[in-house]
Amino acid sequence: MQLSVRAASAVVEAKPKTDLILIPGGKGKATHMKKGDLLKVINTHGKQVVDFWAFSTSEWGKEIMSMHHTRNALQKMTPQAGDTLYTASMKPIMTMLEDSGPGVHDTTAAACSYGLYVLQIGEEAAKEHDSCTNNLYNALAELDLALAEDPRYGYYTPAPFNLWMNVTDTPDESGYCWVMPPQDQKAGDYTVFRAEQDCVAAFSACPWDIGDMNGPGGEPQDCHFQVFSA
């Protein structure tokens, strides 16, 4: 599959800093970025949710891209092209420059975890199931990094920016319930971000296979990303 046919205009003149990097379906990956670098995240097969985090390297473990602070700053639920994403101290960390798809993303859902899978499929099955939470920590470990708040010891994991995750509030007799249908994405759709400070970007091609959130059949699919110098 040709992944760069519809290259974003923001990266047409930019110099690649990395090759096209695979995020295996159901697994995670992370990369270093410098302030001003551009990041292109590609929904290679068109239906995959990608959990996305950014961590400042100047204040490691303290300055983290925060979804609830970003919502406060933007006064809306979902960032769009042109919007900046913020840390808890309201420092810019990423700006979304382009989005080739319909703009369907989520800032409300936590990263899936062992505990969530226990609730959904039982303890024994959960032991064998990947999760975005574990994928995050494994991806950081590949860079010899770790957060002080390690979920293996029961602590908090930052909420991700859930790229291409379609979450709707649907009313029923009990109130409003989350419904997560597959998103209307095409193979090769992408988002482009600019790093607003030196940081580590981390990703998980979400392994959620309960229902069709990741497309018909729910099987996690590979995605890709690439970093460019502006």
Q: Has residue 147 been placed in a domain? A: yes
For the chain, the residue count is 230
Q: Alpha helices, DSSP H only, in 51-210?
A: 67-74, 114-121, 123-127, 132-142
- 104-140 pLDDT, tens digit per residue, is 999 999 998 777 777 776 777 667 778 899 999 999 9
Pairs from 170-177 (Cβ < 8 Å, separation ≥ 24): none
- 62-77 pLDDT, tens digit per residue, is 899 999 999 999 999 9
Question: Distance between CA atoms of 49 and 131, rounded to whole angstroms?
Answer: 13
Q: Has residue 20 been placed in a domain? A: no
Q: Tokens representing 5?
A: 């046919």
- 12-33 pLDDT, tens digit per residue, is 678 999 999 999 999 999 999 9
What is the count of structural domains for the chain?
Answer: 1
Q: Report the predicted TM-score, pTM, of the whole model to 2 decimal places.
A: 0.88
DSSP 143: T
Residue from 223, 230, 227, 228 nearest 190 by CA: 223
The residues, any chain, with a CB within 8 Å of residue 97's CB and separated by 6 or more, are 8, 10, 38, 81, 82, 192, 193, 194
Q: Tokens representing 137?
A: 């920590």
Q: Has residue 2 been placed in a domain? A: no
Mean pLDDT of 198-216: 85
Q: Has residue 5 been placed in a domain? A: no
- 37-68 pLDDT, tens digit per residue, is 999 999 999 889 999 999 999 878 789 999 99
Q: Identify the pLDDT of residue 51.
A: 97
Statement: residue 158 has pLDDT above 70: yes
Q: Has residue 7 been placed in a domain? A: no
Statement: residue 201 has pLDDT above 50: yes
Q: Identify the pLDDT of residue 9.
A: 66
Instruction: Say which amino acid occupies 97.
Output: L
Collapsing DSSP to helix, strand or coil, 16 comes out as strand
41 or 211, higher pLDDT: 41
Domain that holds residue 39: 28-229
Statement: residue 6 has pLDDT above 80: no
Q: Has residue 1 been placed in a domain? A: no
Q: Has residue 72 been placed in a domain? A: yes
Q: Identify the pLDDT of residue 122.
A: 78
Q: Has residue 116 been placed in a domain? A: yes
Poorest-pLDDT segment among 65-69, 164-168, 226-230: 164-168
